[in-house]
A and B are shown apart, each in its own frame.
Chain A
Amino acid sequence: MRTLRIVGIGFEALVTHKLRTLLMMAGTLVGVAALTVVMAMGKGAEKKIMKRVENFGPRAIMLIAGGGKDVPGPDLTTTTLTLRDAEAIRQNIGGIEAIAPAAMQRQMPIKAGAAQVQATIFACESDWHHAWDWYAQVGEGITDDDNSMLARVCVIGQTVREELFPDTDPVGQYLHIGNVRFQVKGVLEKRGTSPMGTDFDNRLLIPLTTGMRRLFNQDHLSYIRIKVAEVSQLETVTRDVRRLIHERHRIGPAEEDDFRLISAEIVARFAAGSSRTLSILLTVLAGLSLLIGGVVLMNILLISVKERTREIGLRRAIGASRTDVFVQFLAESLTVTLLGMAVGVLLGWGLCLLLPRFTPMPLVVSWESIALATGAAMAVGTFFGIQPARRAARLDPVKALQ
């Protein structure tokens, strides 16, 4: 009860000196709001990355034509990856659930009546659907029959469908890829953004045989997608595939690869790369603003201790112990911190709700980030509140009263 009354003095001082209270609060308020928003940004980016990894397929390995270190797509001028490689993998490497060789061409002009769109063409086998876990939502997918008959049929992505057949049922309709006419037999499920940030749904599937012999006139593949049976096998399968292709393509240890092997892990690392660095940087900046807020709080309190020296002396004379004075001033800084924290969280939260209306940035407010922001604010408030409270408590009452 007595302590509560002493805490009450600190509280009353805040009510009396409203402007000073506001100034003391400002740093904490801005810091907490910034931390909440920045952490929501980080969380949003993380979620986006997770979604991309999910889209890529957590059990997938992409054997992509063309060397180099970059993650983005196949190099279409590399001609060394072939169907025989795919067959060799199928024969020699265990632990594989599905394997899907594919040839692709980017930015192919596609027409349907007056409507026109540019999309990426993937020539593939029936197993492609299984390897990608990506099936026809309407109609049906590419089948073995389509491949054996070199059928001029296609399955279109959602974006292509929206562009070419906005109002009609596309199944059974015809479209032209270049000069070749194809019949639409299905529409793919919506998939969203690729790991590289491109539109996954702006695509069109055709049978592999049709693609290689009729449309692209090529013998090589762009990629072979391998889906392992168990996530735990990713590493071994990747290693085995690398060894096999090295052997088949006669690549010596000193030579540069003419292919890349990409797994979910690499995709995650690539996608996270810059956004994580930025997120860490922003969090540090927000934390810094909180820290500066703490320093401001401390200095205002130190000035206030100086201004209230006589008051402190009087309080000591009428029965306040050193501890009582300490408690009074610490209560003042903690109350300010709590207040700033509460308003800061509300402000940050509000911004997180408001910002997505103006920017495409994904923001995810989580309890962890709020807990972290308030925890940090509390720590800062306590740390910087202790010094002024100690100074107040240590004042010699005799000198304070003079």
Chain B
Amino acid sequence: MMEMNNITKTFGNGEMTTPVLKGISFTIDQGEYVAIMGTSGTGKSTLMNILGLLDRATDGRYLLDGTDVTTLDDRQLSRLRNKKLGFVFQQFHLLERTSARKNVLLPLIYAEEYPDDADTRAEAALVTVGLADRVDYRPNELSGGQQQRVAIARALINDPELILADEPTGNLDRRSGLEVLDVFKRLHQQGRTLLTVTHDQAVAEHADRIIVMEDGQVAQDQRVDQPRDAARELEQFQQEAQA
């Protein structure tokens, strides 16, 4: 469902150019849970931005659902982001002074048609991330983990083909991080396609495939035989905390 073919990205122009991505190729199929790993400066964020249609590749081909997105204009790209992608950021990026429900509804503003069942959908999305009882809370009334789960619900509202998460647990304590990863795991089990970018090996091991980036290139692309189970780790963590 997603194919990257020899993607390159170079920053700067003229004589002062810095190649950041040096020919990246891989495909991600429907229903996969992929982690892109690498230390900072390896180009994984740039790759994430290109994957998320927020940035353009300097060269190469990127097919999303069979469409070559390298030739699309801003309007068409925006529409694709809205319809097919769901973003989860390290800093959550929720609107302050705005309820969880309204934050979740936000992407629908930019949808072609505002669905009649928008409110029901928002509530369903919040139920999925385990926040059924926090629908009318504002971000400042929620914990970090809860805020990130609102952000996940927001990513789900348009029923996207692909969820892109950039260091989703980076700003969270261990417990909240596990809660988020647990949500991801359940989404994966429901058949959703997920792509997480992280520098944290432990986080990456929750996925069932890890792509390791090094110096703007794919260094490794491996299946994970035994992905970690967030639900169990969460349980263990709670037991340790009680003991």
Which residues of A are interface residues toward B (Cβ below 8 A)?
Answer: 1-2, 5-6, 8-9, 16, 310-311, 313-324, 397-398, 401
Q: Which of A1, A8, A313, A401 has the most CB of B within 10 A?
A: A401
A interface, by DSSP: helix, strand, loop or mixed?
helix
19 CB-based A-B contacts, threshold 8 Å: A9-B109, A314-B89, A314-B93, A314-B95, A315-B106, A315-B110, A316-B54, A316-B78, A316-B81, A317-B87, A318-B81, A318-B154, A319-B110, A319-B111, A319-B158, A320-B78, A320-B110, A324-B110, A398-B49
Q: A313 — which chain B residues lie within 8 A by C-beta?
A: 93
Given contacts A5-B109, A318-B107, A320-B110, contact A310 B93 (CB under 8 A): yes
Q: Which residues of B contact A319 (CB under 8 A)?
A: 78-79, 81-83, 107, 110-111, 158
Residues of B within 8 A of A397 (CB): 54
Where the two chains meet, the residues of B that have a C-beta atom closer than 8 Å to any C-beta of A are 49, 52, 54-55, 74-75, 77-79, 81-83, 87, 89, 91, 93, 95, 97, 106-107, 109-114, 154, 158
What residues on A are CB-neighbors of B89 within 8 Å?
Answer: 314, 317, 401
Chain A residues lying within 8 Å of B97, measured Cβ to Cβ, are 16
A386 to chain B, nearest CB (A): 18
Provide the residues of chain A in CB contact with B74, threshold 8 Å. Answer: 321-323
Chain B residues near A6 (CB, 8 Å)?
A: 109-110
Which of B75, B77, B82, B113 touches A318 (beta carbons < 8 Å)?
Answer: B82
Residues of B within 8 A of A317 (CB): 52, 54, 81, 87, 89, 93
Cα–Cα, bound, A298→B56 (Å): 31
Q: Which of B81, B112, B154 contacts A2 (CB 8 A)?
A: B112
- B110 with A2: CB separation less than 8 A: yes
Report the separation of the CA atoms of residues A9 and B105 in the bound assembly, to the nearest whole angstrom.
12
Return chain A residues, CB-CB under 8 Å to B82.
318-319
By the criterion CB–CB under 8 Å, are A318 and B54 in contact?
A: no
Nearest CB of chain B from residue A8's CB, rounded to whole Å: 8
Q: Give, as a whole number of angstroms, the nearest-CB distance from A114 to chain B.
A: 80
Instruction: Please give, as numbers and ranges, the residues of chain A lying within 8 Å of B83 by CB-CB distance.
Output: 319
Distance of A323 Cα from B79 Cα, bound (Å): 12
Q: Which single residue of chain A is at the shortest CB-CB distance from B75?
A: A321
Interface centre among B54, B74, B91, B154 (most CB of A within 10 A): B54
Task: Assess whether B78 is in contact with A311, with CB atoms less than 8 Å apart.
Answer: no
